[in-house]
Structure 1
Amino acid sequence: MRFKGILLAIMASAMPVPLLAQTAEPAAANDPAAFDTEINAILTKWMAENHIPGMVFGMVKDGRLAYVKGEGVQDLFAKRPVTPDTLFRIASMTKAFTAMSILKLRDEGRLALDDPADRYVPELRGWTYPTSDSPRITIRDLLTHSAGFVTDDPWGDRQQVLSQTAFTAILKAGVPFTRAPEMRHEYANLGYAILGRVIANITKAPYRSFVEQRLLTPLGMTASGFDVLAHPKDKRAVGYRWENDAWAEEPTMKDGAFNAMGGLEVSATDYAKWLAFIVSAWPPRDGADTGPAKRATVRQVMRGVNNAAVFHRYATDGDKQCPGTVSYGMGWRIIGDCDYGTVLAHGGGYPGYGSHVMVLPEYGVAFFALTNRTYSGPSQPVWDIAALLRAKGVIARRAEPVSRDLATFYTAAQTVWSAGTVDALQGRVAMNFPMDRTAANWAKVLAETKAKSGACETTAPITAEEAMSGTFTWKCEKGSIEGTVLLAPTKPITLQALGFAFEGKD
């Protein structure tokens, strides 16, 4: 079935969904709605360039879907507009739910991450490994895509409808390896399909039952699930592919044996609840732990990362921006970014659908976008909008609280500077402190530094890097003092290092 010559018409007549909590009052400067025009321009430009029938973009902040925008249509025939309740297959973003299910089973004592996978999937026991010294594949290997399987995106995507009986036959026959396990990361849908079988065998119920009952239902994701054929047709985004300058409808793939790697269908409204749960795990803190998984368990998705590589942002001109690192954790790509710090990200590519998610734990926000065109991963607009909202001050890195001990020793540092000696630290320093610089030399260095800087305003607050270290900046007549306070791992708390570095004016 083909649909020619209607892309521009759809883009022109697209009905953007009203923002959540939208009012007649102008949006505040820290409200993403204040930048609706810029966000809309990013989305519509990308959609036109990539032939996207429909798309929804969302931002999760403060535990809710703080901004949502639908563009285009979910069905080219009926021309129903995309809304926050339109259902999209999220493809490989399903893997995060599978990984969380495995971690929940670990928390319950029903498996260990370093258990051999064949303990739970007996069909793997007869496999021939590539070398005689190859280790047996573990649950952790499957989670981190380091089991030695070949990349299988095009093949794996079409296995969604595979029956459990047929999957059992594949496993019994064994699979070829591209290398020995644990040698490197190589993305393999097969590994997550096996994890689905692990979950099913341990729980003695279908994989989807565990995810739906233990994750989706507690989070109130009532519209989402794996049995897409049972979902209301008027709510589902029809999947299309673009070829020969025309749209062709992709066949709807029913729930099958590879659902653990990519079968989940969600709405933006529902998916935001999942992301709010993920974001809420940071920072570590006291208090009730009421989610479907413990906060500490959620944070562990960053563990198990392996074979780090250089990362260039998915954003426009991302290769010209500061490079970072990327590794694979458990159902998430873990990125180290110069501006955002730690980023949890993942894409989803599927016949008829494309998606992307970006979680910024240090900012307390998450962004996502879902589309209904084959392999149309919207990573570029997601990262571009994140950059826009960061530049506009809508999102900002969370400030680390200053601990009582750090505040106490910062006060001591101010006294040291004022007095020109370290006498105020008597009995409060770690054993290395006087060995690294004598009291006499401290007095000499302080006098020399104060002569270079001139009078300084020393009332600026200290910025905590963590509970036991921090930095401060004092403005001075001739430049500035860049200071550091580092506490020692002792009880009682002592000071292990103190720094006053002068930087002259340009």
Structure 2
Amino acid sequence: MDLKPEIRRPLFQRTACLTTRKTSLAIITLAALWVLGWHVYEAEFYFSLAMQSPQAISAKLGCPFPLPNHLLKERPLCPSEGPLRKSSKKLDAFLSERASHPDIDSLSIAVVTPYGTIFERGYGVLKANETVSQKPVSRHSIYRIASITKMFTVLETLILRERGVLNFDDPVEMFLPELEIPVYGWSEYLNGGKNSSLGTRPRITLRQLASHMSGIGRDYPPFDIGEWPQIPSTSTLRRMQSQGSLPLPERGQRTFAELVKSINKYPLINLPYDYPIYSNSGMDLLGLSNVAANKLRAGSNSGNEPQSHEELVKRDIFDPLGLNGSFYRVPYGTSLVEDLAVPNQSHEWADITFDDAEAPAGGQYSSLADLETVMQTILDPVTNNGVISEHVVREWLHPLFTWKNNLQEVGAPWEIMTIENNVRLYMKGGNLPGYHSEFVLVPEYQYGIIVLVTGTYQNTAAIVQEAASLYQPAIRSLLENRVNNAYVGRWVVSSSSIEKGETTTAQVKLINGALYLTELIVRGHDVLKIIEDSDFDLHKPYPIALWNTGRPNEFRLAFGRKSLNNDPSAGCMPYWVSIDNGLFSRGAPIDLVYWEGDELVYPSGGVRLARA
């Protein structure tokens, strides 16, 4: 079924503000001593690139920087653009075939930008456990999102932090004093001892709980399978196989007291901040800490505050964002029940309620429409009235741990993988019996992917990879097109604004997918040649990468250091340590360039240039 995409127009556009400034040759010469150099003719340089290894090319091109993605806000992606239309057609064909297999009952998917969807489809039936009803899924169909719930739990923590209710590095015992994290290891525990060479009790913080870095085990209380290594009974194996990532329904609801008792009893898996240990129990503690911190802040009025994780998230996230298809308990007696997606197998999981000691890790329901709203507020919290600021989003979308293979990283609570050109996908997957999901953000290119599945098929990450392999090249090419239109080309000063015979020009190019300044001449003085011949350590006789500052149309010139620029092993170190060394002219850093309206401005040189 084709769900019609809805595109919202951008709410702001780039503005131009023109000013003029007089200059002097002496100051220009001083500024030029630190800008950039061009050692060889351009033809020789590009020919030499073609003949060298990737490592050598990387050294000569310096440290490439991501393209300025604000251009995708000023001119949003449109599904009708050629590359996107082709990607959508290919993805629809792939998903139509994949969803036809019996292991998928239904599949809802969207590729989302801050301003709308560029792909949105539904496949399969809503209630696969019914033989009569063949109602198809829609964007409003409601799924269990399993561990995507953790993203909402961490989001709530960030909201409370911004309100001053808690700090991300507060110890968990500040809000849950019942916790007494063991200091002993497994050998001491199994031998009946309680002493430890650690001496002091491990300090577990909210940040560690959010990023699986606390050392707390996956699921508490543990499940005893009896004698081992004897093969467990068939009934036991079946129970284990159907358990999913959270406790079985026949075990009953896990209480807060049971959770705390178990965590206080068993040794940590590893020491906090050593490496991540995926922990549902740790995330449950985070959700409970949020509730406790909010009530503690309210003091004598705590009785008027939310008393559960469910109530707190509804107040701070669901209601402000208008998420009408998101909840923790099936709302029987309402029309939402008719939108609940139910798998054929494990259909009993459709309405199992997790209590407050289990809900923060995986108890939430949501729809494709609601998750699209959440994704848009994260990609652009200003335009879309997000529940956290853009500054907090930038902090949130960063890795906290990198695995040794350098292919995966861990955030709070992100499962991060990289694709072409080291582009990061910030993923949060979820699995419960019959329900499998992915919520994926690609902030560098301002889009995301949502996948919701009912059935026995669990590899939703493969669907994400297929979608990313089709859309990432398309979106990159469209961003490069926007960059070309905005910045690339030769820039000159008109004859009316500079004395006759004095050349002022700049050349900006897109090389290997990154933006570079390759020429800068101010009133007849070749700034790059002056730098090449100077004794300044800040010097690079190759194209200079333009590093966007995060503000629209503003860039710094990544010069690097003469002694390290050509050393591939130095990587990006020479460049980021050399940005903004304190040299100013005319009130501006001499490594600063920006565009105002249709003009390139080099403020320390006092010149403004228009496209030739």
What's the TM-score, normalizing by structure 1? Answer: 0.71
- Residue in 2 that maps onto 1:150: 217
Matched, 1:344 2:426: yes
If asked which structure has higher relative contact order (CA below 8 Å, sep 6+), I would say 2
1:154-180 CA distances to partner (integer Å, 9 max, x unpaired)?
575126898887222330352422222
Tell me how far 1:436 sits from its aligned partner.
3.6
Tell me how far 1:274 sits from its aligned partner.
0.3
- Residue in 1 that maps onto 2:278: 187
Tell me how far 1:338 sits from its aligned partner.
3.4
What secondary structure does 1:368 align onto? strand
Tell me how far 1:124 sits from its aligned partner.
0.6
In 2, Cα distance between equivalents of 1:265 and 1:248: 15
- Point out the more displaced range, 409-418 or 213-222: 409-418
Tell me how far 1:462 sits from its aligned partner.
7.7
- Residue in 2 that maps onto 1:302: 397
1:83-128 CA distances to partner (integer Å, 9 max, x unpaired)?
1110011111111111111111111222122221111112213645
Tell me how far 1:139 sits from its aligned partner.
1.0
- Residue in 2 that maps onto 1:220: 322
Aligned residue type for 1:95: K
CA contact (8 A) 1:86 1:267 kept: yes
- Residue in 1 that maps onto 2:141: 86
Q: 2:371 aligns with which of 271, 286, 296?
A: 271
- Point out the more displaced range, 154-163 or 137-146: 154-163
Matched, 1:17 2:2: yes
Tell me how far 1:296 sits from its aligned partner.
1.1
Aligned residue type for 1:92: S
Q: 1:125 to 1:160 in 2, by over 3 A?
A: farther
Q: 2:103 aligns with which of 28, 32, 51?
A: 51
1:260-280 CA distances to partner (integer Å, 9 max, x unpaired)?
111111111111000001111
Matched, 1:253 2:253: no
Matched, 1:170 2:259: yes
What secondary structure does 1:239 align onto? coil
- Residue in 2 that maps onto 1:235: 339
In 2, Cα distance between equivalents of 1:163 and 1:249: 14
Matched, 1:468 2:564: no
CA contact (8 A) 1:340 1:360 kept: no
What secondary structure does 2:455 align onto? coil
What secondary structure does 2:213 align onto? coil
In 2, Cα distance between equivalents of 1:45 and 1:30: 23
* Greater Rg by CA: 2
Tell me how far 1:198 sits from its aligned partner.
0.4
Alignment of 1:259-338 (within 5 A): 259-281=359-381, 290-303=385-398, 305-310=400-405, 325-338=407-420
Aligned residue type for 1:305: L
Q: 2:205 aligns with which of 132, 138, 163?
A: 138
What secondary structure does 2:437 align onto? strand
In 1, Cα distance between equivalents of 2:557 and 2:149: 38
In 2, Cα distance between equivalents of 1:35 and 1:49: 22
In 2, Cα distance between equivalents of 1:219 and 1:351: 29
- Residue in 2 that maps onto 1:209: 311
Matched, 1:70 2:139: no
- Residue in 2 that maps onto 1:477: none
Tell me how far 1:420 sits from its aligned partner.
9.0
Tell me how far 1:389 sits from its aligned partner.
2.3
What secondary structure does 1:93 align onto? helix
Tell me how far 1:184 sits from its aligned partner.
1.1
In 2, Cα distance between equivalents of 1:116 and 1:423: 53
- Point out the more displaced range, 107-116 or 231-240: 231-240
Aligned residue type for 2:208: D
Matched, 1:98 2:200: no
In 2, Cα distance between equivalents of 1:289 and 1:20: 17
CA contact (8 A) 1:162 1:258 kept: no
CA contact (8 A) 2:427 2:441 kept: yes
Percent sequence identity over aligned pairs: 21
- The number of residue pairs the alignment matches comes to 419
- Point out the more displaced range, 152-161 or 134-143: 152-161
Alignment of 1:109-128 (within 5 A): 109-125=164-180, 127-128=182-183
In 1, Cα distance between equivalents of 2:457 and 2:353: 18
Tell me how far 1:335 sits from its aligned partner.
3.2
What secondary structure does 2:337 align onto? coil
In 2, Cα distance between equivalents of 1:418 and 1:50: 71
In 1, Cα distance between equivalents of 2:251 and 2:265: 16
Q: 1:112 to 1:53 in 2, by over 3 A?
A: same
- Residue in 2 that maps onto 1:389: 471
In 1, Cα distance between equivalents of 2:520 and 2:350: 73
Cα RMSD of the aligned pairs, angstroms, is 4.1
In 2, Cα distance between equivalents of 1:191 and 1:409: 58
Tell me how far 1:190 sits from its aligned partner.
0.6
In 1, Cα distance between equivalents of 2:466 and 2:528: 52
Tell me how far 1:33 sits from its aligned partner.
5.1
In 2, Cα distance between equivalents of 1:354 and 1:152: 19
Tell me how far 1:390 sits from its aligned partner.
3.1
Alignment of 1:25-36 (within 5 A): 28-30=80-82, 32=84, 35-36=87-88
CA contact (8 A) 1:85 1:268 kept: yes
In 2, Cα distance between equivalents of 1:495 and 1:262: 49
Structure 2 residues not aligned, in runs of 5+: 8-77, 186-195, 221-242, 296-306, 493-503, 508-516, 550-554, 560-574, 593-612
In 1, Cα distance between equivalents of 2:392 and 2:546: 28
In 2, Cα distance between equivalents of 1:129 and 1:167: 23
1:369-395 CA distances to partner (integer Å, 9 max, x unpaired)?
101125624111222122112344587
What secondary structure does 1:362 align onto? helix
Aligned residue type for 1:224: S
Q: 1:172 to 1:383 in 2, by over 3 A?
A: same
In 1, Cα distance between equivalents of 2:255 and 2:138: 37
Tell me how far 1:463 sits from its aligned partner.
5.4
Aligned residue type for 1:253: I
In 2, Cα distance between equivalents of 1:266 and 1:81: 17
CA contact (8 A) 1:30 1:394 kept: no
Q: 1:414 aligns with which of 510, 516, 519?
A: 519
1:58-105 CA distances to partner (integer Å, 9 max, x unpaired)?
111142233210000111212211111100111111111111111111
In 1, Cα distance between equivalents of 2:103 and 2:527: 67
Aligned residue type for 2:206: I
CA contact (8 A) 1:348 1:377 kept: no
Structure 1 residues not aligned, in runs of 5+: 1-15, 242-246, 282-286, 311-323, 450-457, 472-483, 497-506
Q: 1:418 to 1:273 in 2, by over 3 A?
A: same
- Point out the more displaced range, 338-347 or 193-202: 338-347
